[in-house]
Chains A and B, each alone.
Chain A
Amino acid sequence: MFEFCADPSLLEGTDWWMCYLSNGKHMGFYRSFGVVMMLLLVTVPFIMALGFGGALARRSSLPPVRWLGLAYTSMVRGVPDIIFFLFALIAVDQGIEYLRHLYFCPDWTEPIRQGNDFVVCARAKMPLSDADAWVHKTYSFFQAVLAFAVVFGAFAANTLFGAMNAVPRGQLETGDAFGMTPRQVFRRILLPQMWVYALPGLSNLWMIFIKATPLLFLLGIQDIVYWARELGGTKTALFAYPHPDWRLGYFLFLLVFYLFLTWVSERVFDRLQRRVSRGQPTVGGTV
């Protein structure tokens, strides 16, 4: 990056550090923080959509829909999230390839599962084997987004379902008395009022979500954990910047990053909570 970094073996002290911390691999490390932040932001709409879907399904008057909603929301309580991540990753991948296989190669006669192999025709591969590297990276990123959204969507559905039930009945009945349709009651009364009850649960969920992002590493994404292990490992004299095992230092840096992220989030949520509590008949509410 800097001109004086041309020959790292001659560097000492501050110069060495400046060059070391700005070499190509470290740039990848810094970019991976962006990947984590992007995952956090991109996944939230999906989580909320699935959460709303799950909560509404549980409120549905049709029993099969209700059972589906119940099954979806209770599965995360019984099974560790990491199992879902590992499962969803391969299952979604194979599901998409299988559907594409049915679509593109209808006259393929061999079975899909041959012993220990999963075989689809070349055109059904996802992404195509001749695709650019960035396509592969983007695809695996969105797979991770999907896996996170499914798991945390179930958590969100639980929270939103509880919040919808917490809105005082009298409020909804007043809407009925005014002659509003059920849809209007939902949109004008239930939806605006549920947030004050949903927010504590959602802020908790956001914290859990932040703390689950290092699992990206297990999903095969080159995230901050991957780079911390990569950069921290012992570098022998063969490398431009030799150093002993510094993984502990890199992980402590990640720790500080996460502490900062959760600390900031907590503050933001406190503010938000005060805001939505305004005029609510709760302990924290002010007129």
Chain B
Amino acid sequence: MSCADTFFGYALRSIGMGERLLPKTDFTLCEHFILIGSGLVWNLYFAFFALTLGFCLAIGIAVARASPNPLLRWPSRVFIFVVRGSPLFIQFFIAYETFVLIPKLGVDINLGFIEITAETRWLTKAWLGALIVLMLNTSAYSAQIFHGALLSVPKGDIEAAQAIGMPAGKRFRRIVFPSMLRLAWASYTNEAIFLFHATALVFFSSFPAWQQKGDALYYASYFADKTFNPFVPYPIIGLYFIIFTVILISIFGLINRRLNRHLTLSR
């Protein structure tokens, strides 16, 4: 089997396309690269959706955390304390056990052109259940970062906006939010890297890899278990993660440039 054949057979194996059986013996370097790379689809999927959804949630939690209303402040404080104070690994276990206990129900969602049945069974699958855990986890860490930044927004800016009669909503959108984002961005970049790395944990906590559809680390450890040689699969997955971490850092760097575009001195 040539490397091109391997590519077409296994490049999308992690999402259930191509060959059904994983290679069993005589693993080639090509198979290592392609199968582990195929699993990376899951890591990128989890990272992308957890970060985008978690970002929106984090802004809300950070604002609630700084709110003068105790009914908003306390729940967000408790949420941040519990999530930041406990290991993600335990959170995965707890979420999975909870999702398993939820009765199996189906809810019809009408999207206008198509009707889909959302089932609570999906929560026990990694694509939804683990995504929810990762999203909640990153939103708590990010909310703490954004909350710190929110408190550091210069008072003068807000007073100036008040003085020219800007309404509260507009003040938040045009003054507070951009400043907060700018101040938080460096720490938020770190959090994004941590979240991306945490996606490797998904199939090592409770969530089962159904039909051997797993993430990059799932396949890397599959190879390591079969060959009993850690010196090939783990450096390969390490390389993949380094490449995508660098890409992540550069994307965040670009956003940072845009956030600070009014400051001419920082290039």
Contact = CB atoms under 8 A, between A and B. Distances in A.
A204 to B, nearest CB: 10
A210 B226 CA distance: 31
Contacts of A87: 230, 234, 238
Interface in B98-120: 98, 101
Nearest to B88: A211
B81 A259 contact: yes
B89 A83 contact: no
A213 B87 contact: yes
A40 to B, nearest CB: 13
B172 interface: no
B48 interface: no
B87 A248 contact: no
A14 to B, nearest CB: 26
A254 B90 contact: yes
B251 interface: no
B227 interface: yes
Nearest to A248: B97
Given A79-B241, A248-B98, A116 B87 contact: no
B234 A86 contact: yes
Given A225-B93, A259-B81, A262-B85, A116 B200 contact: no
Contacts of A229: 93
Given A82-B217, A90-B224, A248-B98, A212 B230 contact: no
A228 B221 CA distance: 24
A259 B220 CA distance: 32
B97 A251 contact: yes
Contact of B197 (A80, A255, A263): A80
B93 A80 contact: no
Given A218-B204, A252-B94, A259-B82, A83 B241 contact: yes
Contacts of A263: 85
5 contacts: A78-B241, A82-B200, A247-B97, A248-B101, A262-B84
When A and B form their complex, which 9 residue pairs have the shortest distance between CB atoms, in order from nearest?
A: A80-B197, A78-B242, A87-B234, A211-B87, A248-B97, A90-B230, A214-B89, A262-B85, A80-B200
Given A86-B220, A90-B224, 11 more contacts: A75-B238, A78-B238, A79-B197, A80-B201, A82-B204, A113-B229, A217-B89, A245-B97, A251-B90, A251-B93, A255-B91
